[in-house]
Amino acid sequence: MVETWFKAVSLQKWDAREKKIYLVAPNQFVQDWLNTHYVPIFQRHLSRLLNVDAVAISFSTQNTPTPDAQASVPAVNKTTLARKADVKAHQGINASYRFDTFVVGPSNELAYAAAQAVTHRPGQVYNPLFIYGGAGLGKTHLLHAIGNEIRASNKRVSLIYQTADRFVNEFIYAIRFDKIHLFQAKYKDVDVLLIDDIQFIAHKDQTQEAFFHIFNSLYDAHKQLVFSSDTYPQNLNGIAERLRSRLESGLVTDIHAPSVETKVAILKKKADLHRVTLTDDVAFFLASRVVSSVRALEGSLIHIIAVASLTGQSISLELAQKVLVRTHKQERADVHMEHIAQCVAQFYGLTMTDLRSEGRLKHISCARQVCMYLMKQMTDKSLQEIGLFLGRRDHSTVLHAISRVKEQLKKVSFAAQVSSIEERIMQAS
Ligand code: ADP
Ligand code: MG
């Protein structure tokens, strides 16, 4: 996989004095991907190649103008800044996280409705609003959506979005440099305060104290307060009881992991935003394969779009399978065949002996096929090894099983079944 990325990149300029190398990626997707995943690898290889201790790397895309020798700010920085300016609205609000870019399903409809209600009558209903749920399920998106919506309807509303860890840092900075009055002034007069990942103020007693006062004075003045967290208020360890009970005094609502259908809808929406079309088979495949979070789902989609655009292929089921199998294998190298077989057997109410038996009863052979498929997806074992493990079957039997399962994955109910087995495997491993 790494080679694919390397090949796509060309050298634009080497600035020996600054020890900086300018590389060009064929498009924005590839650039973003390289920036987040491969910078250290590039640095390692290039510094060896160029025989210097450390090299700084700057990526740009093909349509970025070449930086001239005098320019102190490389061209790539300008584009990055321009792009940031596009998406950043006021007070740290990301303009692309809106209600209309959020897909609503059973897993998030309550949180969504509450968030909308808050924007219609800030400070009047559900105060504070407390949204909790696992990582990557859309909490931050909803907080920004509230901010964007309130801003759009009234430009004069003063609004702050802040993550709790930055809030803590701000506070520490304020005490260190004797700027507490500025800190207090900043938060005292807002109409809407959105604090993301409030769990990060746990065990920070002094920050909690300051936060408690801000909370009370805003609350008493009927200002809207919105919080997100990875768990519900009473479960927040390291947060003072009086603060926990304040946090849960309004509306507490959670977001769960989305259903396969919601995941498909999210994928289609994201694909639209990137101006690519996603066929149903690819969307269902991704939705059933990626279980952990919407963020991971989005990551896989971007990965596939990037590989497609890099290699000039269209986005097909085959390509999606190839890309995902590679990433999943890397993440899941520690899952064993034994464990997978146990989870599959348990799911179908069978024993290990059933799975390994000669038996050709339909429900047993179906379970066996799913087992083979999952072993191929989740481990590095060869077809031979998988066949051997499951009752000395030869590799062509395994191959056949895998392709049958892939065929059936087009059915939503079957895809959901396989993904729930996979979830069990991951949870218990
Ligand atoms: P959290 O804050 O809960 O960890 P985020 O709000 O950062 O999760 O969401 C992670 C990514 O998934 C973001 O890019 C967000 O836009 C996207 N996302 C999550 N839920 C949805 C949804 N229901 N519809 C559209 N995009 C979503
Ligand atoms: Mg978040």
Tell me the ligand closest to 133's alpha carbon: 1
- Indicate the pLDDT class of residue 232, thresholds 50, 70 and 90: very high
pLDDT above 90: residue 355: yes
What angle (nearest 5°) sits at the alpha carbon of residue 141, between those of residues 140 and 144? 85
Check pocket membership of 294 for ligand 1, CB cut-off 6 A. yes
Residue 200 C-alpha to ligand 2 middle, in angstroms? 12
CA nearest to 368, candidates 394, 385, 391: 391
Mean pLDDT, rounded, for 126-140: 95
372-398 burial: b if 16+ Cβ within 10 Å, else e: bbbbbbbbebebeebbbbbeebeeebb
What is the pLDDT at residue 163?
A: 95
Distance (Å, whole) CA 170 – CA 103: 33
pLDDT above 60: residue 412: yes
Q: Which residue, judged by its Cα, is nearest atom 21 of ligand 1?
A: 138
DSSP-derived letter for residue 390 is: T
- Indicate the pLDDT class of residue 329, thresholds 50, 70 and 90: low
- Indicate the pLDDT class of residue 396, thresholds 50, 70 and 90: very high
- Indicate the pLDDT class of residue 379, thresholds 50, 70 and 90: confident
Average pLDDT, the chain: 85
Residue 32 C-alpha to ligand 2 middle, in angstroms? 20
Q: Which residue, judged by its Cα, is nearest atom 23 of ligand 1?
A: 103
Give the list of residues 6+ apart from residue 208 with CB closer than 8 angstroms, or none.
Answer: 201, 239, 240, 243
Q: In the structure encoding, which two tokens stand for residue 52, read together?
A: 């210097």
Check pocket membership of 134 for ligand 1, CB cut-off 6 A. no
Check pocket membership of 268 for ligand 1, CB cut-off 6 A. no
Check pocket membership of 137 for ligand 1, CB cut-off 6 A. yes
Single pTM value for the model? 0.65
Instruction: List, edge to edge, every strand of the sheet that includes 20-25.
Output: 10-15, 20-25, 56-61
Closest ligand 1 atom to residue 133 Cα is 3
Q: Between 90 and 76, whose confidence is greater?
A: 90
pLDDT above 50: residue 52: yes
What is the pLDDT at residue 322?
A: 84
Distance (Å, whole) CA 55 – CA 348: 55
Residue 298 C-alpha to ligand 1 middle, in angstroms? 9
Residue 295 C-alpha to ligand 1 middle, in angstroms? 6
What is the pLDDT at residue 3?
A: 58
Identify the bridge partners of residue 195 per DSSP, sorted by sequence position. Answer: 162, 227
pLDDT above 60: residue 389: yes
Proportion of the chain above pLDDT 70, given as a percent: 87
Are the C-beta atoms of residues 43 and 57 closer than 8 Å to each other?
yes
Residue 137 C-alpha to ligand 1 middle, in angstroms? 5
Proportion of the chain above pLDDT 90, given as a percent: 56
pLDDT above 60: residue 354: yes
Tokens 């279980």 belong to which residue?
291
Closest ligand 1 atom to residue 142 Cα is 6
| Sequential DSSP letters for 306-368 | HHHHHHT----HHHHHHHHHHHHHHHTTT--HHHHHHHHHHHTT--HHHHHSS---HHHHHHH
Q: How many CB atoms lie within 10 A of CB 135?
A: 12
- Indicate the pLDDT class of residue 368, thresholds 50, 70 and 90: very high
Check pocket membership of 141 for ligand 1, CB cut-off 6 A. yes
At 94-131, the pLDDT tens digits run: 999 999 999 999 999 999 999 999 999 999 999 999 99
Distance (Å, whole) CA 209 – CA 323: 49
Q: Which residue, judged by its Cα, is nearest atom 5 of ligand 1?
A: 138
Q: Between 8 and 375, whose confidence is greater?
A: 375
CA nearest to 196, candidates 225, 223, 163: 163
Q: Which residue, judged by its Cα, is nearest atom 18 of ligand 1?
A: 138
Which helix or strand (DSSP H or E) is residue 143 part of?
helix 139-153
Residue 295 C-alpha to ligand 2 middle, in angstroms? 10
- Indicate the pLDDT class of residue 190, thresholds 50, 70 and 90: very high
Ligand 1 pocket test, pick from 93, 270, 295 with the greatest ligand atom count within 8 Å of Cβ, gives: 295
At 244-289, the pLDDT tens digits run: 999 999 999 999 999 999 999 999 999 998 889 999 999 999 998 8
Residue 274 C-alpha to ligand 2 middle, in angstroms? 22
Distance (Å, whole) CA 30 – CA 33: 5
